[in-house]
Amino acid sequence: MDQAAGSSQDAQSLPGCYRHPDRETGVRCTRCERPICPECMVSASVGFQCPDCVRGAGGTGPALAAARPRTIAGGTITADPRLLTKILIGINVAVFVAVHAWSGLLADLVLRGAWPPPPFAPTEGVADGEWYRLVTSMFTHNEIWHIAFNMLSLWWLGGPLEEALGRARYLAVYFISGLAGSALAYLLTDPGTGTLGASGAIFGLFGATAVLVRRLKYDMRPIIALLVINLIFTFNPGFNISWQAHIGGLVAGVVTGYAMVNAPRRRRALVQYGTCALVLAVILVSIVLRSAQLT
């Protein structure tokens, strides 16, 4: 009896479709967040959109936060929702070509904590002030299979996530995840070991995608299965993979991704970028402490 009464009350509280106010619905446009009925739902790569957003018109009304349609995270809708993903792939490919065209370049780009090892004073590496390695290593690959696998993953995960978050928020998740992976590798691996690859950032996209899928109430089993498979490879000693970079990126991706898609609308930017700043601060502190330890 109580359950039936509660269900009736919930049904009565459902909003009406913005185009058909007499039709109650629990679905909202993933761009502008206006309620839409089945007739107005337009299937998209992420959720459903209203006809106005599909046509690229923001429409009018108090439900809209801005004149232009927005993504589920509050980002601006763009003509090419995969532009940044294409650019990131292009940078990775360009660096791959460069390290094979110029000998010695690879050694200058990989993440290395300190070299030579104690008792000698380091003359190269992050501990010697080469902090740029934390970033350049995110775009550096040496083996064809390594870059091929990472770029396929980046295209598969990055495109839909960029469309769902918007460019600025997507780029923030990508770079902070990559830096978190580099920082954890710098913190926990032998300082003389060189690590490289975009895997830390890509695992961050895995984490953010899992959060987005949960937020949209989609079936999480495919993304969880794929993540588990990748973690099995990560911890397999035969593959010589930096698990530290993968785990660091994954954790940062989950944290920043959660902030992106679950931030309250009124304080959305503050929560989103505040979380990013907090994670970035933790990364910087860990790098400073590790550098002090090695020097």
Active-site residue (options: 182, 242, 246, 291): 246
Q: How far apart are CA 174 and CA 178, in angstroms?
A: 6
- Return d(Cα 270, Cα 281) in angstroms, integer: 16
Residues 6+ apart with CB under 8 A from 292: none
Q: Return d(Cα 129, Cα 152) in angstroms, integer.
A: 33
Which amino acid is residue 51, in one-letter code?
P
146 is catalytic: no
Residue 8 falls in the annotated catalytic set: no
Catalytic residue among 137, 153, 182, 199: 199
- Distance between CA 91 and CA 171 in Å, rounded? 14
Q: How far apart are CA 71 and CA 32, in angstroms?
A: 7
Q: Which residues are catalytic?
A: 199, 246
